[in-house]
Structure formats: structure tokens, C-alpha cells
Structure 1
């Protein structure tokens, strides 16, 4: 991409944090703007792609395809969503298409319903009910605290492997939601827009995913006390 050059250094980064400025620069062919989005989003795009395909190599190819689609389509971007949402939606479509070629798709409920019982998750009776007047869905009684455990146990490789295994065992949609919310720090609105979910479905998926990961870690960390 060629064209106008944005101010360099920290000022450039702050300017490109404004979505309108960023998109305008990209549509003008600003190489600095494209370098900015590459720097800020490439790693996250790769991690999301790896949720859907069989290997890192394939995920890297998917990310390259997504960037090419961005370059080819930026002039048609109508700003009905944020640039980040649009970018990751392109990536999601590419990754799902590639993943479907690699394996037979298995239907699943977007809200973790059919085929996704509470097995492997924290039992629902450990939480307050949806109609609780003060704290719906909160813990009925607080779970075991882990902040008293030695730091080397909390951040050790074996614990990290348990977290990864628990996330890998989630349904595809649960894995997407919890990865975007808790690994990449997306807001609920961003995740809902990106995945095409209602706010309620996003909450259910996140709660179920966190519950399953929590139980897997309880079985490991509490056993070692």
C-alpha cells in the first residue's frame, strides 16, 4: 500500500487509536496505518485462527488470506462496525471455511444447549439463580481461593498446560468466547458483534466456559494442597 504518511512515533500510534482516522488512512493507502494494524492485531488473529484449524502453519496461511482480503476490501468498508470487528470477522470467515475443509463439521448449540450438559463443569447449584434479587449467577458460596498458593504453582508450566487443555476441551463457540473475553480482553459487546451472538447467549457461553475451566483447575490445584 502506498500513499500519505502519518506522523511517526508515539503520536502516530495515538492518532491511529481513533477508528475513523485509522480507516481513512487505510483507505488512502497509508503504509504506516497498515503497519499499525499489523503490529496490533497479527498475534491475536493467529491465536483466533488456531481455534479453528489443525496447525499453526495452516493458521498462518489463514491470517495471510485475511490480510489480503482486508487490503482488497478496505475501500468498501462502510464503518457500520469498528475496524477491529470487521477485521476479525474476515478472519473468522476464512478460518471457519478452512477448518471445514479439514474436518467434518459437528453441529452445536450456540448457547451450549443440546449435546453440552453440565458434565465437566462446576455444578449449577454452586451458583445463585438467575432470579436472585442481588447477585444473579454469582457464587452461592465463595470457592476455594488460590491466591494463597505458591506463585510457582499458579504460573507453573503444568498449570498452564491444564488451562490450555481445559480450553481445548470446550465446544468451539465456548472456546471462541472465553478466548476473546479472557485472553484477548474483548468487551462483551465486541464479542457479541464479532460472533453474531445476542448479549444473553454471550453471557451463557462465557459462564459455561469459565465454569468448565474452573472445575478443571479445582481438580488439579485443590488436589495439591
Structure 2
């Protein structure tokens, strides 16, 4: 696939621009899903997805092939979605940093057990929506898209250790958001 895609890209760069539709067909759905999970609004996500493919087309000659085309495209999509979310969405969940610091790791790791229960899953989904765009992007890439830490790092331009630390903090933050919400509805 990688070799085939590189050949396709080479041909597009050399003038066979109509072939770009094949790349769009291959990646449009996954790019839209990524953008939608970060943005949360369908129309806006559709528009950003179109912009991502337009930007990728314009910059295709800059694609060096050091990563897969999908990773390169995801980086463009992530940056576009995060930038749009920063401009249009209010600041998200405020967490007391002291509570976050003293929360035992084992408690935050229990979040994965909650997925078996619909009510808790709904609360978790709501909590993810309250994260900052950068945090939602990492959650989407790592948990929904099942990208490795290395791929997340490449897409987000963070170091692997930074991705690990951020994912750890996000799990803690989600735990606090969900438990706070659960306590407030009791």
C-alpha cells in the first residue's frame, strides 16, 4: 500500500492531478472521523475535512515519504481541527491541578472498566467532549483510532514521552470529570 501510494503521489505531483480523487476516496472517512471527534459538529467537520484535502493537495510536493501518507494527512487534519476548535469553542473543563496531582494512578486506570456500563460510558463521552481540543485529539488518535504512541507523537509533533505523559494526565482528568459529574447527579 505504501509503495502504491507513493507512486500515486509521484504521478499526481507530475501532472496527473485527477488521480488525487483516489487518495481522497481512501482517506476521507477516517480524516472526517478524526476531525469530527475533535470538533463535535458535523457541518464544521465536513468543511474542515475539505480544507484538509485541499491543503494536502497544495502541499503534496512537500510530502517526503518519511512517514505514511495517512500519518502526514492526519497531522494536517489534527492541526486544522485543533486550530478551529480553539477559535470557536469555549475553554473546556477546568480541573483543580492539586486534585489531579494527588489522584492515584490506579483510580484513573479504572476508567477502562467503566466502558462496560452504559451510564458510565455516557458520562465518559460527555467528559471527553469537555476536554481541550489537543486532549480530544490525543484521545481520538490513541483510543479511537488505536494509533501507537509513536504515531501519535508523529502526528501531533510531540515527543513520545510527552504523548505518554499527556495521555496519563488526560486519563486522570477524565476520571475527575466523570466522578464529579456522577456525584453531582446523585
Corresponding residue for residue 61 of structure 2 = 75
Aligned to 1:154: 116
Post-superposition offset of 1:145: 9.0
Please say if residues 168 and 175 of structure 1, whose CA atoms lie closer than 8 Å, have aligned partners that are also in contact: yes
CA 1:162–1:154: 2 relative to 1, 3 Å: same
Deviation at 1:100, TM superposition (A): 4.7
Contact 1:45 1:63 in 2 (8 A): yes
Q: State the number of aligned residues.
A: 175
Which residue matches 1:59?
Answer: 45
Could you tell me how far apart the structure 2 residues matched to 1:145 and 1:170 are? 17
Verify the 8 A CA contact 1:122 1:212 in the aligned structure 2: no
The equivalent residue for 1:35 is 22
Can you list the C-alpha shifts for 1:139-193, whole angstroms capped at 9, x where unaligned? Answer: 49x859948xxxxx9353x443212111122233222212210111001011111
Q: Which residue of 2 aligns with 1:207?
A: 168
For the 8 Å contact 2:141–2:147, the answer to whether it is kept is yes
Query: Partner of 2:126 in structure 1?
Result: 165
- Who is 1:45 aligned against? 31
Q: What are the superposed Cα offsets for residues 86-120 of structure 1, whole Å, 9 maximum, x if unpaired? A: 1012223333443454358x6xxxxxxxx76154x
Given the superposition, is the C-alpha separation of residues 194 and 182 from structure 1 closer, same or farther in structure 2, using an over 3 Å criterion?
same
Change in CA separation of 1:77 and 1:144 when aligned onto 2, cut-off 3 Å: closer
Larger deviation, residues 211-220 vs 192-201: 211-220
Distance 1:86 1:144 in 2: 31
Runs of 5+ unmatched residues, structure 1: 1-15, 107-114, 128-138, 148-152
| Partner SS state of residue 78, structure 1 | coil
Larger radius of gyration: 1
Find 2:6's aligned residue among 16, 20, 23. Answer: 23
In structure 2, distance between residues paired with 1:197 and 1:98: 19
Instruction: Compare relative contact order (CA 8 Å, sep 6+) and give the higher one, 1 or 2.
Output: 2
How far 1:64 moved relative to its partner? 0.7
Structure 2's unaligned 5+ residue stretches are none
* TM-score (ref. length: structure 2): 0.72
Helix, strand or coil at the partner of 2:97: coil
Q: CA RMSD in A?
A: 3.7
Q: TM-score, normalised by structure 1?
A: 0.61
Q: Conserved in 2, the CA contact under 8 Å of 1:62 and 1:94?
A: yes
Separation in 1, partners of 2:80, 2:111: 41
